[in-house]
Amino acid sequence: MDKSAKTFLHQLLGTPSPTGFEITGQRVWAGYVKAFSDRVESDAYGSAWAVLEGKSPVKLMLEAHADEIGYMVKHVTKEGFIHVDRIGGSDYATARGRKLVFQGDKGPVKGIIGNTAIHIRDRTGGEKAPEVHELYVDVGADSEKDVAKLGLRVGHPAVYADTLEEFGEGRLCGRAIDNRMGGFIIAEVMRRLHKHQAKLPVTVIAANCVQEEIGGYGARMVTYRLQPDVAICLDVTHATDTPGIEKAKHGSVKLGAGPSVTHGTACHPLVVSKIEKVAAKEKIPLQHESSSRYSGTDTDSMYHIRSGTPCALVSLPLRYMHSVVELVDLKDVEHVIQLLTAFAMNLQPDENFAHQL
């Protein structure tokens, strides 16, 4: 990864982008990708997309969701503590004792999720994870008024204070890798395609869509609007190679063993088969997952828009999803970039993904 890509990656993942409050992060994304695109546009709710015109108007959309999970101010007590609600699927079992950053009217405000000391906690009958409403955040205030003075009110969002770190041998660890890393990857794909624009067979749209974590709404709006001919959704997937995960239940995905491609439901067999062919040609390792009902990603929101868009799902293996220590391998990041870039370069303008009877 070169210096400018690395700077962008850390800036993108360091910018809070909780669902419903993605615009600051979207500006960082748009600011980077515009150098490798013919134009960058956005819609009312803040989904952003970059367009690179190819030799044909046939449109390939590469989509990744731009939002991350977080918390939101639900209630402020007289004593100045903040009760929170979850934005998306935040793992509140691991919340106590962690630091948060609220985005208030006067800028960022640090908070600590209170954790009663082990010595004085009531542990009779064993310990159980707290309910969300039992969590409280200490922002260093003594009263409701103090909290207001900090620029905080009900409805302000927060994310964990953790940022991206290099870890072990070629790995990255941090919060919001789900799926801010997807935004990074599709931007890098545009950077590589831009170098070969004269030979690019189709028009490529990189779409960084809002509001996935609460139901895939941004991707739905963008697919309806842009009407791609074929689309690939990029998200993270559970690496199941850590202790205690039953592979019979959750399948087998290994960190560092390459992008995963999903089979079934929203994932169109002909698009999936094209991905497999491109991976084989480029010698990119692939892992396989099944989707028998839902994929749980934006693919589910994209494929049935209007009269149907042939879609596929490519995933980046990730450990510890929705925690502050999400972990990915840079070899996988590079392989996903290579796979999506090669898919675009190998697409034929007259390639038809519609099933024929």
Residues acting as catalytic residues: 212
3-state secondary structure of 187: helix
Q: Is 298 left (phi over 0), alpha (psi -120 to 50) or beta?
A: alpha
From 35-43, 101-109, 179-187, 340-348, span contacting Zn ion (CB under 5 A): 179-187
Interaction of residue 326 with Zn ion, rule CB under 5 A: no
| CA 327 to chain centroid | 13
Which of 15, 19, 26, 179 is in the footprint of Zn ion by CB under 5 A?
Answer: 179
Q: Is 289 in the site for Zn ion (CB under 5 A)?
A: no
Binding segment toward Zn ion, per CB under 5 A, in 167-175, 177-185, 283-291, 346-354:
177-185
Nearest to Zn ion by Cβ — which residue?
Answer: 179
What x-and-dash track marks residues 41-80 binding Zn ion by CB under 5 A? Answer: ----------------------------------------
Q: What minimum distance in Å lies between the beta carbon of 263 and Zn ion?
A: 19
- In this structure, the strands spanning 70-76 and 157-160 are antiparallel
Query: Is the peptide bond between 179 and the residue preceding it cis, with omega within 30 degrees of 0?
Result: yes
Min CB(235)–Zn ion separation in Å? 4
Closest CA to 150 of 104, 218, 98, 101: 104
Q: Please report how close the Cβ of residue 319 comes to Zn ion at its closest, in angstroms.
A: 14
Which of residues 337 and 342 has its CB atom nearest to Zn ion in the complex? 337
Token digits of residue 62: 């590469």
Q: How many helices (H) does the chain have, and how many strands (E)?
A: 9, 17
Q: Pick from 22, 235, 300, 326: which binds Zn ion (CB under 5 A)? A: 235
Q: Nearest distance from residue 324's CB to Zn ion, in Å?
A: 15
CB of 179 vs Zn ion, minimal distance in Å: 4
Rounded to an integer, what distance in angstroms lies between the CA atom of residue 256 and that of residue 344?
23
Considering the rule CB under 5 A, would residue 178 count as an interface residue with Zn ion? yes
Radius of gyration (Cα) for the chain, nearest Å?
21
Let me know: does 279 contact 339? Beta carbons within 8 Å. Answer: yes
CA distance 89 to 112: 19
> Taking CB under 5 A as the rule, does residue 26 contact Zn ion?
no
* For Zn ion, the closer CB: 179 or 309: 179
Residues making contact with Zn ion (CB under 5 A): 178-179, 235
